[in-house]
Amino acid sequence: MYKSYRFRIYPNEDQETLIVKHIGSCRFVWNHFLDMRNKRYAETGKGMTYKEMALLLPALKKENKWLNEVNSQSIQQVVMHLDSAFHGFFKKIGKYPVFKKKANGGSFAVPQNFKVEDNHLIILKFKTPIRMFVHRKIEGHMRSLTVSRTSSGKYYVSILADTGIQTPEPKEIEAESSVGMDVGITEFFTTSDGLQIGNPWNLKKSEKKLAKAQKQLSRKTKGSKNRNKAIIRVATIQEHIANQRMDFHNKISDILTRQYDTIITEDLNVSGMIRNHHIAKSIADAGWSSFFSMLKTKALSRGKNMIEIGRFDPSSKMCSECGHIYALKLSERTWTCPECNAFHDRELNAAINIKRFGLIKTGVPTDSGELTPVDTVTSALSLLEKEGIRQVKWLKQEAHVL
C-alpha cells in the first residue's frame, strides 16, 4: 500500500533559484510538447506517443543549453506525465491537458536518487541539503518525490512511500455498523443516526478580506513590485481558505472512517449543480468533491466500505416511515407526511433513506440495526469536540450542541 507525505521545505537563496529553474524547465518542456502534439494533430489527425517525444528530448536540450542545469530525470518525468494526461483524457477520466502558467506556482518530480536525513532533503543537482520540517515519521520505502511551489511563494515536498502493507480486505457490510450521509449547503452533512455538522463557511468568513486584497491588486500597475506583493497577499488569503477547508475535511473524514464500517452516500452531480449561480459559491465553499475523494481514500486504506446510491433515488421526498412520496419544495426544511403524519427533518430523513437504499443495493437486510447504537454517536461527538469541530448537533436528542 502506498502512502503520501507532504512537508514544508525552507530553501536558501541558491537552492530557491535552482528550484525555480527546475520548475521553469519542466513547464517549458510541458508546453513545448503540448504545442507540438496539438499542431501535429491539427495537421495529420494523429498525436504523438511517449517514445516519439522522448526521442526528441536530446535535440531540445542541445538547442536550449539551460535545460542541462536541472535534473534530467525531472525533464523525462514531464514527458511521461503529459503522455499519461492524454491517456486519461481519451479514457474520459480526465480533462484535456492545458498549458502551464508561471503564476500558478508549479512543480517538478524526482523519481529516484534522493534522501531524507536529519530534517534535510538531499536531491541531485543541489549542492547542499534543503532544510525540511518533518512533522511525522515516514513509514516504508520512499519511491518518488515532488517539489512544488505555491502561488504565495511557499515550497513543499510530497513523498510517495511504499509501506509494504497490503490493502486490507473490506469488512462485511452490516446494518448495525453502516451509516447514511446526506450533504447540504446549510448543514455540511447529516447522518442517518442524527449526527449533524454545520458548514464552516471558510470562504464566506474571509470573503471581505479577500475582496479588499483583490481590489488593492486591481489598482496596482502591471509589472510593478507593489503589484507582485499584492498578488502574493491575495494568494496567501486563498491558500489559507483552502487549508482551512482541507483541515476540516481531513478531520471529519478521519472520524467517519473510524466510527463506521460502511458509509453510504448519494452520487451527486456536483459539476452540474455548480452551474446554478444561486448556489455555486456555497457548493464550492463546501468542497463536496474533495471531501468525498478524501473519504473514499481513507475508507479504502482502512478496509471500510463506500457505497453510492443513484442520484435520482427519492431520498429527500420519500417518507422514511411509510414510503410515501411527498411533493417536497426546495425551501421546505421540515415537513409532515400526509399519509402517516410523521414529522421529518429534511436532511435526517434523506440520510435515513440513503442508508436504506444503500443496504438494499448490496442485499443487506434493513429490518435490523437501522439506527446506530447511542455509544457510537457519543464516541463520534467526543472525537469532534476533541478536534475542535463546532456547530455539531445530535438530532436524536434535544439540541445537543458542542
- Reference 104, options 165, 60, 148, 66; nearest CA is 148
Beta-bridged to residue 133, according to DSSP, are 8
d(CA 334, CA 343): 7
Task: Let me know: does 184 contact 288? Beta carbons within 8 Å.
Answer: no
pLDDT at residue 276 above 90?
no
Backbone angles phi, psi at 350, to 5 degrees: -65, -40
Q: What is the pLDDT of residues 104-125, one digit of tens each?
A: 889 999 999 899 999 999 998 9
Please determine, for residue 397, whether its predicted confidence score (pLDDT) is greater than 70.
no
Residue 369 has pLDDT above 70, yes or no: no
Is pLDDT above 70 for 164?
A: yes
Q: Amino acid letter at 76?
A: Q
Residue 231, SS3?
Answer: helix
> 47 falls in which pLDDT band (50, 70, 90)?
confident
For range 182-192, the mean pLDDT: 89
Residue 370 has pLDDT above 60, yes or no: no
Assign 396 a pLDDT band (cuts: 50, 70, 90). low
Strands 178-183 and 187-191: antiparallel
Mean pLDDT, rounded, of the chain: 88
Q: What is the pLDDT at residue 32?
A: 96
**pLDDT for 401 beyond 80:** no
* Per-residue confidence (pLDDT) for residue 67, from 0 to 100: 94
* CB-CB contact of 19 with 149 (8 Å): yes
As a whole number, mean pLDDT of residues 248-265 equals 92
Q: How confident is the model at residue 365 (pLDDT cuts 50, 70, 90)?
A: confident
Greater pLDDT, 195 or 16: 16
- CA nearest 27: which of 127, 101, 95, 88? 101
Task: Give the C-alpha separation, 266 to 190, whole Å.
Answer: 12
Return the SS3 of 59.
helix
Q: What percent of the chain has pLDDT over 70?
A: 93
Which of 6-10, 95-99, 201-205, 397-401 comes out lowest in average pLDDT?
397-401
Instruction: Identify the pLDDT of residue 375.
Output: 62
Torsion of CA 342, 348, 349, 352, to 10 degrees: -120
pLDDT at 186 over 90: no
pLDDT of 322 > 90? The answer is no
Does the structure show a pLDDT above 90 at 269?
Answer: no
User: For 253-261, what is the mean pLDDT?
Assistant: 91
Contacts 24+ apart (CB under 8 A), 55-59: 57/29
Q: In what order do the strands lie in the sheet with 187-191?
A: 305-309, 262-266, 178-183, 187-191, 195-198, 392-394
The answer to whether residues 122 and 15 touch, using CB atoms and an 8 Å cutoff, is no
- For residue 61, pLDDT beyond 90: yes
Question: Which pLDDT value is given to residue 373?
Answer: 56
How many C-beta atoms lie closer than 10 Å to residue 220's C-beta? Answer: 15
pLDDT of residue 97: 95
Cα torsion 156, 286, 179, 336 to 10°: value is 170
Position 175 scores a pLDDT of 87
SS3 82: helix
Residue 377: the pLDDT is 64
Share of the chain above pLDDT 90, in %: 57
Q: How does pLDDT run across 217-252, given as a tens digit for each residue? A: 999 999 899 999 999 999 999 999 999 999 999 999
Burial of 286 (0-12, 13-18, 19+ CB in 10 A): buried
- Residue 398's pLDDT is 41
Once rounded to an integer, what is the mean pLDDT over residues 65-84? 94
- Choose the weakest-confidence range: 118-122, 132-136, 153-157, 377-381: 377-381
Number of H helices, E strands in the chain: 11, 15
Least trusted range by pLDDT, from 116-120, 188-192, 209-213, 389-393: 389-393
pLDDT at 314: 86
Alpha-carbon Rg of the chain, whole angstroms? Answer: 25
Q: How far apart (Å, rounded) are the C-alpha atoms in residues 231 and 135?
A: 29
pLDDT tens-digit profile of 300-314?
999 999 999 988 888
The secondary structure of residue 187, as a DSSP letter, is E
DSSP helix/strand/coil, 197: strand
Mean pLDDT across 149-178:
90
SS3 of residue 3 by DSSP = strand
Amino acid at 200: P
Residue-wise pLDDT tens digits, 14-46: 999 999 999 999 999 999 999 999 999 999 988
Q: Which residues of 262-285 are buried (b: 16+ CB within 10 A; e: fewer)?
A: bbbbbeeeeeeebeeeeeeebbeb
